[in-house]
Amino acid sequence: STNVCRIQIKGMTCTSCSTTVESALEALPGVQNALAALATKEAEILYNTKVVSYNQLIEAVDDSGFKAILTN
Ligand code: 9UX
């Protein structure tokens, strides 16, 4: 089923950073849309929970060179 989550991210300072995070998330099967906002330092992700897990989203952010902050 489809779920939306927000992940706070440390280290995003320019639009190239946020594009990198979005691309990393959207490369994951099951991620339908990812929007990373510099202003709020967070990403909003629409994903299918049957295909990809919240933990995998966190890992993708960290693997892209930034730091996901666990809030939920
Ligand atoms: Mo520009 Mo964002 O060098 O790390 S991509 S600040």
1-55 pLDDT per residue, tens = 999 999 999 999 999 999 999 999 999 999 999 999 999 999 999 999 999 999 9
Q: How far is the CA of 43 from the centre of ligand 1 (A)?
A: 17
pLDDT at 72 over 70: no
Q: How far is the CA of 16 from the centre of ligand 1 (A)?
A: 6
What is the predicted pLDDT for the residue at 71?
A: 75
Q: How far is the CA of 14 from the centre of ligand 1 (A)?
A: 5
What is the predicted pLDDT for the residue at 15?
A: 97
From the CB of 17, is ligand 1 less than 6 Å away?
yes
Where are the alpha helices (H) located in 8-72, listed in sequence order? 15-26, 54-63
Return d(Cα 63, Cα 8) in angstroms, integer: 15
Residue 56 phi, psi dihedral angles, 5° rounding = -70, -35
Q: Which helix (H) or strand (E) holds 44?
A: strand 42-48
